[in-house]
């Protein structure tokens, strides 16, 4: 394992985006194709979320995302709906906007991961059968 990568859980990793940009972390490419250091987080094609370790408050992002990753799909949808309602209210709703952003990240991450698994279902087994079972 690359020492520049900190694994929080199987779907949440922390890395300095500058290291990715300088190609110190071989094979890591973000889904949106960008790896600039301004971003807070990025997804890979397999549905893994990377948080930028170069940010001052990255540990708080990790804590919050770890919590939302434990929620069920239904719970995430409820939180998303509640945050949308709070954002529609008059006044400063920065907390609701922040919650909305975190929940959207997790929903997007799950959908990307689901699509990845659909595309690659049984892929390694098929290759083994083709090689060794002829």
**Tally of domains in the chain:** 1
The segment with the largest mean pLDDT, out of 51-55, 82-86, 91-95, is 82-86
Q: What is the span of the domain harbouring residue 24?
A: 5-123
Q: How many CB atoms lie within 10 A of CB 58?
A: 18
Is residue 20 in some structural domain? Answer: yes
- Mean pLDDT, rounded, for 74-94: 93
Say if CB 52 and CB 15 are below 8 A apart.
yes
- Mean pLDDT, rounded, for 47-76: 93
Write out 95-126 in H/E/C secondary structure.
Answer: HHHHHHHHHHHHHHHHHHHHHHHHHCCCHHHH
- Above 80 in pLDDT, residue 26? no
Is residue 134 in some structural domain? Answer: no
Is residue 116 in some structural domain? Answer: yes
pLDDT number for residue 34:
55
- Above 60 in pLDDT, residue 106? yes
- Above 70 in pLDDT, residue 128? no
Burial class (CB in 10 A: 0-12, 13-18, 19+), 132: exposed
- Above 80 in pLDDT, residue 7? yes
Is residue 132 in some structural domain? Answer: no
Is residue 131 in some structural domain? Answer: no
Q: 114: which 2 tokens?
A: 């689901």
Is residue 128 in some structural domain? Answer: no
Is residue 47 in some structural domain? Answer: yes
- Above 60 in pLDDT, residue 37? no
Q: How many angstroms separate the CA atoms of 2 and 28, rounded?
A: 11
Is residue 17 in some structural domain? Answer: yes
DSSP H stretches of helix in the chain: 17-21, 58-69, 73-88, 94-119, 123-132
């Amino acid at each position: 394992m690359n020492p520049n990568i900190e694994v929080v859980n199987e779907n949440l990793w922390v890395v300095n985006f500058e290291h990715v940009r300088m190609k110190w972390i071989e094979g890591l490419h973000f889904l949106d194709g960008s790896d600039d250091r301004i971003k807070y987080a990025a997804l890979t094609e397999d549905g893994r979320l990377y948080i930028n370790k170069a940010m001052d408050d990255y540990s708080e992002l990790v804590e919050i995302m770890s919590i939302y990753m434990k929620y069920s799909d239904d719970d995430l949808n409820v939180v998303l709906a509640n945050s949308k309602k709070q954002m529609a209210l008059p006044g400063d709703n920065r907390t609701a906007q922040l919650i909305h952003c975190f929940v959207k990240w997790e929903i997007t991450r799950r959908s990307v991961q689901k699509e990845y698994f659909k595309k690659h279902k049984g892929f390694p087994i098929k290759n083994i059968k083709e090689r060794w079972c002829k």
